[in-house]
């Protein structure tokens, strides 16, 4: 306690935001009211089942499969969206072509669209009788809709704006000069990319990956249309939560929520630590 009370004394330098105490207090209050209190409820609810009941609820094969699918698909989708987003940001920042402003605006569309609409559109496209799904099935024997592959595609769609928009300002800020400097020092394009551009962008790419992952793991609307929702195969955890809610199994739903919360927190914490390691020495 006394240690935390001593904190304000260190903050005697001139700052734009007034008073460490005031700013910290307001931040903590809103964080508590909006995030921590509801989460606390989520933490407590599942224990109505008792520890054994909670474990039994989560150990159900259907729940374990849905969690594996949700997190696996979200990680994969974020991993696909990160390089794609980097390319998009690159095109918008560096290249000059007709329709650039349109592309720039289009990046944000997944933010604005109700994701259910996107899900319906993608299902129509990728379904076995759709424009894209048809040829894919005929020529390659691939089935995308109603499989985990379809889920990943839907999640890439919702994660992409996050990865593109987090890299974009950093890329703009990086400027051409450091690339030009690398070139005059004799670096090839590949060496410039690997040793100068990517390391400078790495923290932003990682942030974008984290945001994209977080968005994807909780995504519901667009996925349920394309997933097919077969238990054990293409049923995501958020859907399972809804199903339990509809069966008035509130504690059971909260149990899955708790599991998602802990897993997501672990992933985001790991990303944050990795980012800290990347930024060491800079700034």
Partner 1 sequence: MSVIVEGLVRRFGTTAALDGVSLAVRDGEFVALLGPSGSGKTTLLRVLAGLEPQEEGRVAIAGREMAGVPARERGIGVMFQNYALFRHMNVFDNIAFGLSVLPRGRRPGRAELTARVRELLRLTQIPELERRWPDQLSGGQRQRVALARALAIEPRLLLLDEPFGALDALVRREVRRWLRGLHDRLGITTILVTHDQEEAMELADRVALLESGRIAQFDTPSALLAAPATPFVAGFLGEAARLEGQVAGGVLRFRLPGLPPLAVALPDGPATAFLRPREVVAHPAPEGPLIRLVRATAEGEARLVVELAEDVTLDAVATPHGAVQGEWPRRQAACRLEITGAQVFGAGGARGMAGALRLAEVR
* Window 202-231: residues binding partner 1 (CB under 8 A): 202
Q: Where are the alpha helices (DSSP H) in the chain?
A: 2-6, 20-30, 37-44, 50-59, 61-94, 100-107, 109-112, 115-126, 133-135, 148-174, 177-184, 189-192, 198-217, 221-227, 237-246, 250-279
Q: What would the two tokens of residue 41 be? A: 């409820």
Among 18, 98, 141, 281, binds partner 1 (CB under 8 A): 281
What is the rounded CA–CA span in Å between residue 138 and residue 142? 8
Q: What would the two tokens of residue 227 be? A: 């997933």
What is the rounded CA–CA span in Å between residue 148 and residue 152? 6
* Window 170-199: residues binding partner 1 (CB under 8 A): 175, 177-178, 180-188, 191, 195-196, 199
Regarding 99 and contact with partner 1 (CB under 8 A), the answer is no
Least distance (Å) from partner 1 to the CB of residue 181? 4
Closer residue to partner 1, CB minimum distance, 18 or 186: 186
Closer residue to partner 1, CB minimum distance, 185 or 262: 185
Regarding 125 and contact with partner 1 (CB under 8 A), the answer is no
Work out the end-to-end distance of the chain between its first and last CA atoms, rounded to an integer number of angstroms: 31
Closer residue to partner 1, CB minimum distance, 197 or 256: 197
Regarding 138 and contact with partner 1 (CB under 8 A), the answer is no
Q: In the block, which residue shows the tokens 């105490």? A: 21
Residues that bind partner 1 (CB under 8 A): 175, 177-178, 180-188, 191, 195-196, 199-200, 202, 281-283
């Amino acid at each position: 306690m006394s240690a935390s009370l001593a904190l304000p004394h260190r903050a005697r330098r001139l700052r734009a935001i007034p008073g460490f105490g005031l700013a910290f207090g307001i931040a903590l209050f809103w964080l508590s009211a909006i995030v921590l209190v509801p989460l606390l409820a989520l933490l407590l609810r599942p224990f109505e089942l008792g520890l054994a009941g909670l474990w039994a609820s989560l150990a159900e094969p259907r729940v374990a499969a849905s969690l594996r699918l949700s997190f696996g698909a979200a990680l994969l989708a974020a991993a696909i969206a990160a390089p794609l987003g980097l390319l998009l940001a690159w095109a918008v920042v560096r290249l000059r072509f007709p329709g650039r402003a349109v592309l720039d605006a289009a990046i944000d569309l997944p933010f604005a669209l109700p994701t259910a609409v996107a899900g319906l559109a993608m299902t129509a496209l990728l379904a076995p009788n759709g424009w894209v799904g048809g040829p894919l099935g005929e020529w390659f024997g691939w089935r995308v809709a109603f499989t985990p592959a379809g889920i990943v595609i839907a999640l890439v769609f919702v994660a992409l704006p996050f990865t593109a928009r987090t890299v974009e300002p950093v890329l703009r800020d990086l400027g051409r000069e450091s690339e030009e400097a690398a070139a005059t020092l004799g670096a090839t394009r590949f060496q410039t990319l690997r040793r100068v551009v990517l390391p400078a962008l790495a923290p932003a790419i990682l942030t974008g990956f984290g945001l994209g992952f977080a968005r994807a793991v909780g995504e519901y609307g667009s996925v349920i249309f394309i997933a097919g929702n077969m238990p054990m195969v293409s049923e995501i955890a958020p859907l399972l939560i809804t199903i339990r809610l509809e069966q008035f199994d509130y504690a059971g739903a909260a149990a899955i929520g708790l599991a998602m919360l802990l897993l997501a927190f672990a992933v985001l914490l790991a990303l944050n630590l990795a980012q800290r390691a990347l930024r060491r020495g800079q700034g």
